[in-house]
Amino acid sequence: MAPLWVPLGFAPYAALYVFPYSARAQEWVALTTFLSFGLAYIGMFVIGVPVFIALHRRGWATAWTTMLLGLVITLGGWLLLSSSLGPELAVDPDFSALTVTGEPMLLVLFGGLGALAGLTAWLIIPSGPG
């Protein structure tokens, strides 16, 4: 449930800033929202849950550490994705290119959503002896 923050936060950004004038804006917003949904869950279950379990067993799973963990995982994933795709990714003929690197607002948005996902996971998972 915690990774749902990512597509919920990214969908409005994609609709308002990334694809506002594209003839196929609804399709591209749906596609990018679906991709952000999938990547958020993959990141949470492949990296976030094992690290959270390790932190929880050591008694280090606090709100701040889980928020930092979510921030680092999200920004690391964004860095990997943007470096593997190159500086630009062509999306369709009527919307020539989508810049995937170099926008500080995106780093703030995704980092904040990752931190929010980490905090939500911390609130959901019961605390107590590991």
What is the three-class DSSP state of 92? strand
pLDDT tens-digit readout, 64-106: 999 999 999 988 887 777 666 554 443 444 444 444 444 677 7
> Which region, left, alpha or beta, applies to residue 102 given φ > 0 means left and ψ of -120 to 50 means alpha?
left
- Confidence class for position 108, pLDDT limits 50, 70, 90: confident
What are the phi and psi torsion angles at 3 (to 5°)?
Answer: -70, -5
| Residues constituting the chain | 130
Extract the tokens encoding 87. Answer: 């500086």
Query: Domain extents for the chain?
Result: 2-11+37-124
User: Residue 4 and residue 30: Cα distance in Å, rounded?
Assistant: 15
pTM confidence score: 0.74
